[in-house]
Amino acid sequence: MEDVFSGSLKITEIEKAALTDVYGAGLSLRETLSDYISQAAEAQVEQVFLPEKEFQIVLELARVMERAERMTISQTPFWSH
């Protein structure tokens, strides 16, 4: 993202929109899961039960991230580490 905003990586507006969506989904998923893990640790439980709506949100965010591995931005594919 820094390369896009600094101008060192030139991509189309559509690619910027796709990259921003993936970046936002990744941040949301990270923060949501971190919050669930923290709550479970505080409650000293090993399982967390999510309401259906929250589960669907986590699932959709994870799907965005999974699809990102098949995206190509500026002829550069995403890689998982």
Report the C-alpha gap between 25 and 30 in whole angstroms.
8
Q: Which residues contact 54 (CB under 8 A, 6 or more apart)?
A: none
What's the confidence (pLDDT) of residue 78?
65
The pTM (predicted TM-score) of the whole model is 0.76
Torsion, Cα 77 57 4 81, to 10 degrees, reads -40
What are the 10-residue block averages of pLDDT along the chain, 81 residues in total?
A: 74 86 94 95 93 96 89 67 47
Task: For residue 17, give both structure tokens.
Answer: 């929109």
Residue linked to tokens 């986590």: 58
Domain boundaries, the chain: 2-70
CB 61 within 8 A of CB 28: yes
